[in-house]
Structure 1
Amino acid sequence: MNQQQDQLAELHEIRKIMDRSSRFISLSGLSGVAAGVSALIGAAVVKWYLVTHNINYNQTLGRDLSRDSVLFIISMAAFVFILALCSAIYFTARNARKSHHRIWDSKTERLLLNLFIPLAAGGGFCAALIYHDLLYLVAPVMLVFYGCALLNASKYTLNDIRYLGIFEIILGLIASFFVGYGLLAWTVGFGVLHIIYGMLMYFKYER
């Protein structure tokens, strides 16, 4: 009986090793925290802009935004994305060096490919929404497609990331019905959820 249990334990350990060897496991929880902080800063700047220009997003649902306002919000979203991407690269590279893992290999390629295909599709769809002046759906759609991207990429990295993806999708779907709270949902999804996820991953894998 003990011999059988030992064999099962060995098989389980071998399976864990094989699974880890096929996944990119150097993602840093601090990159999630940094992305969340970046999103909160971006949301605060957008909120300041709306207040100073006497724009009540909850009432207008984004329908009455001027071209300048739309361009400002898009530029802030792009700034947040670039800042989050740079922080993810920095903290992940640092974590990989610390763990003596390669930063770029076939696992990294599979992860990025499966992450960016849904992101690119979501970006194109958001561009179509902006073109047709359906601005109130942009924030929910961003959350849904981002959640799908995380779910798609979770097969090639830590399983925990799929839970973040599920929460992003649920939040985006809720915001699709309550469009007046789109900016709030965006702030919670890209800001608060990222910080919570990042802290959990940091204390689970990096402490």
Structure 2
Amino acid sequence: MNSKDYLKDISEIKDLMNKSSRFISLSGLSGILAGIYAIIGAAVAYVLVNNYSQGTLFLDGLVFRWVLLDLALIAFFSIATAIVLTTQKAKKNGAKIWDISSKRLVVNFLIPLITGGLYILIILGQQKYGQAGALMLIFYGLSLVSASKYSIGHIRFLGYIEIILGLICAVFPGYGFWLWVLGFGVMHIIYGSWMHFKYDKKQIN
């Protein structure tokens, strides 16, 4: 065996080990749709706040409850879409949808996300909601970085961007709405499109 064959074998072994330890069936299209859902939901929230609450969101008001429902629906449709499309992609690839890699991914993603969600609910209950948008971006970014160890590594860069946007949002809370749209809407569409054409399209062809 010459050195070239030896290096090729090592590369193939490393690739197999990498695939076995990472969940690589995430769908880029689900990221695109999540971004679209976020933009539509943001538009609905914008109309509700500006047309029915004089541009101010009161915690004990009906509009605030509608905005919370709006956010919940965005999260629900994004998660449901990700599950459906990722399951379909895994089946096409002959991969298991629920194995040790996907379990680790979900756990590492949910720990920062649930922690952040509970913290946001606590400060909302204390009527301190000026930083809610920033915290959503920051904790979501931390969730992506944490989960990236068990998925396509490039997803951590989306996490870094979300964290940076969250910190900017914390400094300039007056632009919180637009930074939220940029982070959850536009960046999801850009990153999902990149994933779709880099990974999904190759597998289809």
Q: What are the ranges of 5 or more consecutive residues in structure 1 without an aligned counterpart?
A: none
Displacement of 1:65 in angstroms is 5.7
Give the aligned partner of residue 82 of structure 2: 88
TM-score (norm 1): 0.92
Q: Distance in 1 between matches of 2:61 and 2:122?
A: 15
Give the aligned partner of residue 167 of structure 2: 173
Give the aligned partner of residue 55 of structure 1: 54
1:1-207 equivalences in 2 (<5 Å): 3-53=2-52, 55-56=54-55, 66-207=60-201
Q: Is the 8 A contact 2:59 2:127 kept in 1?
A: no
Runs of 4+ in structure 1 deviating by more than 6 angstroms, as ranges, are none
Q: Distance in 2 between matches of 1:93 and 1:55?
A: 43
Q: Distance in 1 between matches of 2:132 and 2:140?
A: 12
Task: Supply the AA of the counterpart residue of 1:11.
Answer: I
Task: Supply the AA of the counterpart residue of 1:140.
Answer: A
Q: What are the ranges of 5 or more consecutive residues in structure 2 without an aligned counterpart?
A: none
Task: Supply the AA of the counterpart residue of 1:201.
Answer: M
TM-score (norm 2): 0.93
Q: Distance in 1 between matches of 2:174 and 2:126?
A: 18
Task: Supply the AA of the counterpart residue of 1:3.
Answer: N
Q: Distance in 1 between matches of 2:46 and 2:13?
A: 51
SS of equivalent to 1:135: coil
Q: Distance in 2 between matches of 1:173 and 1:156?
A: 25
Displacement of 1:104 in angstroms is 1.1
1:106-147: CA deviations, max 9, x gaps?
111111001001110000110011011111110100000000
Q: Distance in 2 between matches of 1:117 and 1:165?
A: 15
Mean Cα deviation higher: 183-192 or 169-178: 183-192
Task: Supply the AA of the counterpart residue of 1:128.
Answer: I
Displacement of 1:69 in angstroms is 2.5
Q: Distance in 1 between matches of 2:88 and 2:34?
A: 16
SS of equivalent to 2:130: helix
SS of equivalent to 1:47: helix
The CA RMSD over aligned residues, in Å, is 1.5
1:12-36: CA deviations, max 9, x gaps?
2211111111111110001101111
Displacement of 1:4 in angstroms is 2.1
Matched residues, number? 201
Q: Distance in 2 between matches of 1:126 and 1:202?
A: 32
